[in-house]
Amino acid sequence: MDKRIVLIDGNSIAYRAFFALPLLNNDKGVHTNAIYGFAMMLNKIMEEEKPTHMLVAFDAGKTTFRHSTFAEYKGGRQKTPPELSEQFPFIRELLDAYGISRYELTNYEADDIIGTLAVLAEGDGYEVTVISGDKDLTQLASEKTTVRITRKGITDMEDYTPQHIREKYDLTPEQIIDLKGLMGDSSDNIPGIPGVGEKTALKLLHQFGTVEAVVESPDKVSGKKLKEKIEEYKEQAILSKQLATIETKAPIEVSLEEVDYTGPDQEKLLAIYKELGFATLIEKMDPVKAQENEVLEEIDYTFVKEITPELFTDDTALYVEILEDNYHTAPIIGLAISNAKGTFFIEKDKAVESDVFKEWAGNPDMKKTVHDVKKTTVALHREGIELKGASFDLFLASYVLNPAEPEVDMADLAKKHNAGHIQTDEHVYGKGAKRKIPSPEVCGEHIARKAHAMGLIKASIESQLIANAQLSLLMDLELPLAIILAEMEITGVKVDKERLKEMGGELAARLADIEAKIYDLAGERFNINSPKQLGVILFERLGLPVIKKTKTGYSTSADILEKLENKHEIIREILIYRQLGKLQSTYIEGLLKVIHEDGKVHTRFNQALTQTGRLSSTDPNLQNIPIRLEEGKKIRQAFVPSVEDWVIFAADYSQIELRVLAHIADDENLINAFKADMDIHTKTAMDVFHVTEEEVTSIMRRQAKAVNFGIVYGISDYGLSQNLNITRKEAGTFIDRYLDSYPGVQRYMKDIIEDAKERGYVTTLLHRRRYIPEINNRNFNVRGFAERTAMNTPIQGSAADIIKLAMIHMSDRLKRENLKAKLLLQVHDELIFEAPKEEIDILKKIVPEEMENAIKLSVPLKVDYSFGNTWYDAK
């Protein structure tokens, strides 16, 4: 077999990926665009190169042997954005999962490691491929070595061979360093000869061959000014050539045999993809399922033939097996209970037909331990069984203990708490299209095994919650909230299907008008949804400046089009066309598909997903209906009360996270501003810009608002510069002025980081924990991300806890007042109700009352409310 080695310039590819892709992040707030781009590139290389050996080289530090020759080497480079820095540790983890060797060498650059290994590999008969975004490496091209340079994308590459370099520059690979010697390289701060660009440098090399020959014969150079430059800067040109020359004899301590490539660890790779939220890459994987060879312990359980009252006690574990995510429609496979009398498997149909089971399930005095009370409640309700008396939830308890790793699978939960071995559902039932439900006798034992383990798991988790002072967070917040969320999901939200269809027709007509206008501006008809055809129209027919190209043509992504918006009228029309098209497909057609037979949508609230404690929703996602466009806002017109002559009532917290920040930071300026009911963004603008309230402009307020919310989310100067379209220096100045204006906030940031370093976690006001093990990492970049997480989690998490408390208080209040009004939705800081018109005056009093007094802070909580015939009218 031919030996093929691939050598990758890690820093260069990471930078390319970061700037080529939009600033993505996963649900935990980790930025992922560079990692994702790196993974895409690795997959492409694996497919195209089929390497037998691989290595990714990284720069070891800012100082190299070149700095002893020229101290200003690479001196002009901007500081790495923290949003990129925090991704390098994950890139290294990714490489380990891929089984790819990585290496760095003190005092040397990645280029030198690659150059040394390339020469060694050539001598040993390898075919060599070098991957980088830096054309300096093209000097390594030879008959055995191809240097692939990324272009504007990440997977689009140009192959440099000696022949290609000859065709492109009429030079040999060795002359690339002469080219750099003459023209310099601003990215590396290599000076070259001032005033000599690529065109002049090539002309000189075609005439003289080398830098040395050029500086030795300046009299043969045409042009007086150029002669003078060469004579004046000849030593600098020689130095520049030396700086550009890759060291091919670096003292590396890694051999070719050590970098052999045998393929990825599929389980590790899948785990990283899942952690980072790379759904597309997960779909492309075909992971080898690990063999489950652990011996199952014997379990004593009874296959119930007849349900009798004697089966049940006051303290019983109940497990309901549902395999699919959407428990609103997914079938129940079976049930099992376990208590002091034993463990029992019950077929679903027997439970549904049994009055004894229904009476026990609905008895609030018979305490039950469950796994995911919300899912269990909704699924049983669908079968006509009401669940009451849920006194402990293993799923939510696991989430409270560590929100980064909530144990969804009972097999994982049992293993973690030494409660016996349980096979995974995949092992028992299969996966995807291959999934089959075995006989009740077979799956019965599997389900019974889960119920049997629940008592042991509960004892372990409960003791940990008590030790962490978190039992109240579970029992007084998350558990009662889960029952409320189940009621909300069961109730659902009425959708006016005809109004939705009408809006679809209106959007279709609007899209047709915009389409006609685009064709008119383009001068021809084409497929607007085809990036390839659109690229030809914009950049060839209309001659707009090309910003980015991909392997399939011109990039027409949203960020590219936004940069071109002032160049031609057609761009704005295309952007609107795309936004409206998204509304049509995702929110009109998408909503129509998920309306149930009762005319409602029944979303699922994700209670154990985020590390901050915030809720999200799926199928459909009712927290993400776009409201920037008026057409998006109008989609809320389709959400209506379920009873005729009722109205929708909406109430939301005003700037709750900033109020929480004021309280936690105990900042006198912030506290006084909120107590005086000032516009906090105007107040911040006054403090930051040192102006009076009358002098605050709309631009000042907008910038102050970005800083206010940026501080809450741990924004960096780079992130703020992107938000405001200003330089990083200006953004840094804004942040510094803000912290000077609010010294309590600055003190909080310092103290919370020190606290996190000491304890390894941070907490919210209600003792929700977020563990941050990276806070003491020796890697500056990893530690920086952890510090920002430490700063913003107590704020975001406390705000999430407060609105959860408000939901519980409101639910109790509605019952106490014996009102018909129902809580329908929670959308971040907002609660949505439906109610009879005659109850509106009562809601106007009690909703702000309960929400504003959900918790006592050093600043007042403020709630705004409105109501109307639809959700749109209520806003």
* CATH number for domain 493-601, candidates 3.40.50.300, 1.20.1060.10, 3.30.530.20, 2.60.40.10: 1.20.1060.10
At 299, list the tokens: 């379990």
With a cut of 60, say whether residue 743 has pLDDT above it. yes
With a cut of 90, say whether residue 715 has pLDDT above it. no
pLDDT, tens only, 605-655? 999 988 899 999 998 988 888 777 788 889 999 999 999 999 999 999 999
Domains 493-601 and 632-660+764-775+794-875 share a fold: no
Q: Which helix (H) or strand (E) holds 579?
A: helix 569-582
pLDDT, tens only, 140-168? 999 999 999 998 667 788 899 999 999 88
pLDDT, tens only, 748-766? 999 999 999 999 999 999 9
pLDDT the model gives residue 291:
34
- b/e burial code for range 23-60 (CB count within 10 A of at least 16 → b): bbeeebbbbbbbbbbbbbbbebbbeebebbbbbbbbbb
- In the chain, where the domains are located: 4-171+247-259, 302-470, 493-601, 632-660+764-775+794-875, 661-763+776-793
Confidence tier at 20 by pLDDT (50, 70, 90): confident
pLDDT the model gives residue 290:
36
pLDDT, tens only, 827-839? 989 999 999 999 9
- Residue 190 and residue 243 in contact, taking contact as beta carbons nearer than 8 Å: yes
Could you please state the CATH topology (level 3) that the domain comprising 632-660+764-775+794-875 is classified under. Alpha-Beta Plaits (3.30.70)
Domain 4-171+247-259 has CATH 1.10.3210.10: no
pLDDT the model gives residue 271:
87
User: For the packed helices 780-816 and 698-712, what is the interaxial angle rounded to 10 degrees?
Assistant: 100
pLDDT averaged over every residue in the chain: 90
Architecture of domain 661-763+776-793: Orthogonal Bundle (1.10)
Higher pLDDT, 707 or 337: 337
pLDDT the model gives residue 288:
36
pLDDT the model gives residue 293:
41
Q: What percent of the chain has a predicted confidence (pLDDT) above 90?
A: 60
Confidence tier at 720 by pLDDT (50, 70, 90): confident
Higher pLDDT, 341 or 423: 341
Domain 302-470 has CATH 3.30.420.10: yes
Confidence tier at 582 by pLDDT (50, 70, 90): confident
Angle at 276 between CA 271 and CA 277, to 5 degrees: 95
pLDDT, tens only, 196-224? 888 888 888 888 888 888 888 877 877 77
Rounded to an integer, what distance in angstroms lies between the CA atom of residue 121 and that of residue 4? 9
Confidence tier at 74 by pLDDT (50, 70, 90): low
pLDDT the model gives residue 75:
63
Angle at 361 between CA 358 and CA 365, to 5 degrees: 125
CB atoms within 10 A of CB 611: 23
Cβ burial of 836 (10 Å; 0-12, 13-18, 19+) is middle
Confidence tier at 289 by pLDDT (50, 70, 90): very low
With a cut of 70, say whether residue 98 has pLDDT above it. yes
Long-range interactions of 148-151: CB distance < 8 A, separation 24+: 150/12, 150/13, 150/16, 150/41, 151/549
The terminus-to-terminus CA distance of the chain in angstroms comes to: 68
pLDDT the model gives residue 434:
78
Q: Which of 16, 10, 34 is nearest to 85 (CA)?
A: 34
Q: What is the mean pLDDT of residues 526-531?
A: 90
pLDDT, tens only, 663-710? 999 999 999 999 999 999 999 999 988 999 999 999 999 999 998 888
Higher pLDDT, 790 or 62: 790
With a cut of 90, say whether residue 503 has pLDDT above it. yes
Higher pLDDT, 343 or 79: 343
Q: What percent of the chain has a predicted confidence (pLDDT) above 70?
A: 97
With a cut of 50, say whether residue 292 has pLDDT above it. no
Least confident of 256-270, 300-314, 334-348, 657-671: 256-270
Confidence tier at 226 by pLDDT (50, 70, 90): confident
Confidence tier at 277 by pLDDT (50, 70, 90): confident
pLDDT the model gives residue 60:
83
Least confident of 6-15, 215-224, 331-340, 737-746: 215-224
pLDDT the model gives residue 868:
97
pLDDT the model gives residue 1:
57
Rg (CA), the chain: 32
